[in-house]
Chain A
Amino acid sequence: MEEDEDYEALFFAECADLLGDLQEQLDRIADGDEDPETINAAFRAVHSVKGGAAAFGFTDLIGFAHIFETVMDGIRSGRLETTPDLAMILVRAGDAMAHLVELASQGGGEPEAIVPRVKAELEEVAAQLGAEAAPKPQPEPEPAAESASQMGEAASREIRIRFAPGPDFFARGHDPLRIFRAARELGLMSAEVEGEAPPLSDLSFEACPFVWTLTFDTDRPDAEIDAFFDVCADAASIERLDGETPTEPTDPPTPTEPAARKQPPPQPAASAKKSGSGVARSLRVDLARVDKLVNLVGEIVITQAVLAQKLAEIDGAMTLEAGHSLEALNRQTRELQESVMTIRAQPVKSVFSRMPRIVRDLSETLGKRARLVISGENTEVDTTVIEELTEPLTHMLRNSMDHGLESAEERRAAGKPEEGVIHLSAEHRGERVIIQITDDGRGIDRDRVLAKAMERGLVGPGESLTPEEIDALIFHPGFSTSEKVSSVSGRGVGMDVVKKKIQSLGGRCTVRSEPGKGTEFTITLPLTLAVLDGMTIRVGSERFVLPLSSVIEAVRLEDCDVREMHDGSRMIGVRGAYLRLISLRKTLGLPPADAPETMAVVADTETDGHVALLVDELIGQRHVVLKSLETNFKRIDGVSGATILGDGRVALILDVPSLASLGLPRRTMQQETVH
């Protein structure tokens, strides 16, 4: 088995590195280093040696590494204290394991006396961890995995199985179709759905509502049939209907490991990188050069779309080969674009790391106690965005400190801990980056905001606003609720400046607040500034592009319940929920149609649930290059930019959240029309 020897050679080469690292870490532990990362790294080294040993069947090494690992796990989970004695045992264990690896690489042999001695020492330590950690023999390879040939054949017969997927069947990555297809090899003859299939509109993406009866005509042994369904036994209920014993979810054999207790804390990327061949190689490049690259990639995307379109227009030009090549070009362009974007990506850490200081300084100035909790600082964002984020983030933190958090007395009176907590977090969600600032303060004082807005004439007398609308007023230009102009946030820069800044980056900014509980600001930014996946739609004679990340599904109006409301707006029933139906024609000011729209695209507004957009036709899905309108024209609500389609036409790229708020009839107008 030449191949196996290759793996073994590689394994021994890796072992050399692992053992070297291990020795280093054990030495450090012996010197009193209690850094969890050191202990974790040592644990992982032992674990990796054990994994390899198990794969190649080095029995002595497996047994030793196992007990060694058990002890290391006891240390990393804090159940064993690293006394100097224990540290010395560990160092000896490292040497013993190195010796066993060497023996294994030489093809076996009797281990030296140090091995059983150290092993006994380890076992003694492990005994303190309780019986569960006692070494057990390594299990045979999983019996369920035995191939059919080893299992022999059984008499040909009919087997019926009831197959009922659990509630998270799809969510856990199962697909009944794939399973049934594979089951054909076992002699699956039919899969019948029990009862009536629910209507399409009731289907969800998470749960599978069907229950099947599977009928096999097979000569395979029962065990093999049972083993086949092991893979989903955990996410579905599987029952034999033909009188045989029902299939219990069979688990892999006896655990050989102590339980995976507390997972170690996530390791900082930097310290984990140190193993391996050394210095990270990097290159400093002028940003302008990268930008040029980004632009070029954008142009290529357009050219590729044009090429595809032209080929499609010429009769007979789109041969199978041409199609394949085009497909490959499409994929490569996408990869090129993604690679270029990663060059521009940087962790938000550089901005986030400045924030604790701001909070510290402010808590002194304001006399409020506050703690900043940061998470997701390794989330990567486009460089341009990073540079521009500092100012709005600083301002929002100031706002939270000044307006959000109460004074210590107030907090005490409200039964809260005196120290306020502000969370600053970043994460990727689909094609977006979400940054949130959440405080546990008093929430937005809506009465005061409303009074102020009326005083400033932002809200007319008699207008009734929802709490959310009142909260959103703080983003209104020139709005500042601070009674006295404080040195902290009332310096003429309002939250409107924050919002404008974020908008100029192609993002948006929203606020959610609960009186007495706190306020949450959410900044949503696009991951890439240049290219996006879009769905091209037609409304009248115009083409528009909807970002694919906001599209949920498309429905035909005739399949849905559309209801007219008193105020003339319309709602559409999709999967049991009623969504606001927005006429793109009306909202975008297009000429009235000859025929009413027949389709609606359900889209996500991110903050306000889903809405349905009326369209005439779905044209297709494509990669589009976003060209800013603002540089050449001006900002238009509901539109985030423009792009050039394959046929050379210019299409506007729609922005669902701002479109949805445009489509919202203003309360004042409503009242006017009613009167």
Chain B
Amino acid sequence: MSLVLAVDDTRALRNMLVDCLRSGGHDVIEASDGVEALEQLRAHKPDIVITDLNMPRMNGLDFIEAARREPEGRGLPMLLLTTETAQELKDRARQVKATGWIAKPFDPDQILSLVARLA
């Protein structure tokens, strides 16, 4: 099973994600924004990251971009969880080398099967 870093500033949504991941047998660490997520990434070297897009301090895209520059973030699967699916966002996601995106509201089975494929 994998160590998943779940990043979301809304606690209720983060809890849902965390519980979904735990129910799939994964270990989960959490962060409430990109800055915290970077710290968690360095400290715990997760196997996969699932992050919200809109967050205070550092948003999901900026976080992924910064994380790719860290040794722990090289080649790491990092998924964006977002309600926005506009082309521009996808282009940005590609540019920062996000692994992919998941449309919100998410389906727990989909999350688990993605984690199984990627991590």
Contacts and interface: CB of A to CB of B under 8 A. Distances in A.
Interface string A167-203: 0101111110011001100000000000000000000
Contacts of B55: 44
B70 A430 contact: yes
A232 interface: yes
Contacts of B35: 269
Contact of A55 (B13, B33, B54, B58): B13
Contacts of B69: 429
Given A145-B107, A173-B97, A231 B56 contact: no
A421 to B, nearest CB: 24
Interface in A1-22: 3, 6-8, 10-11, 14
A260 B107 contact: no
Q: Which size bracket describes the interface of B in this complex?
A: 35 or more
Given A7-B12, A173-B99, A178-B117, A259 B75 contact: no
A51 B104 CA distance: 7
B38 to A, nearest CB: 9
Contacts, number: 163
Contacts of B78: 173
Contacts of A182: 113, 116-117
B1 interface: no
| Interface SS, B side | mixed
Contacts of B105: 51, 54-55, 57, 141
Nearest to A149: B109
Looking at A6, A10, A51, which has the most chain B CB atoms within 10 Å of its CB? A51
A266 interface: yes
Contact of B118 (A139, A175, A266, A275): A175
B71 interface: yes
Given A205-B75, A267-B56, A269-B35, A252 B12 contact: no
Interface residues of A, number: 68
A57 B105 CA distance: 9
A263 B95 CA distance: 14
B99 A10 contact: no
A232 B99 CA distance: 8
Contact of B85 (A168, A228, A232, A257): A257
Contacts of B85: 251-257
A355 to B, nearest CB: 24
A260 B70 contact: no
Given A173-B77, A231-B118, A252 B101 contact: yes
A142 interface: yes
A228 B116 CA distance: 11
Interface in A211-267: 228, 230-232, 234-235, 251-261, 263-264, 266-267
Nearest 5 A-B pairs (CB), nearest first? Answer: A145-B110, A259-B86, A11-B12, A173-B77, A252-B103
Interface of A: 3, 6-8, 10-11, 14, 41, 43-44, 47-48, 50-52, 54-55, 57, 139, 141-142, 144-147, 168, 170-175, 178-179, 182-183, 205, 228, 230-232, 234-235, 251-261, 263-264, 266-267, 269, 272, 275, 335, 338, 428-431, 549
8 contacts: A7-B16, A11-B12, A48-B10, A142-B103, A146-B107, A175-B118, A259-B89, A266-B58
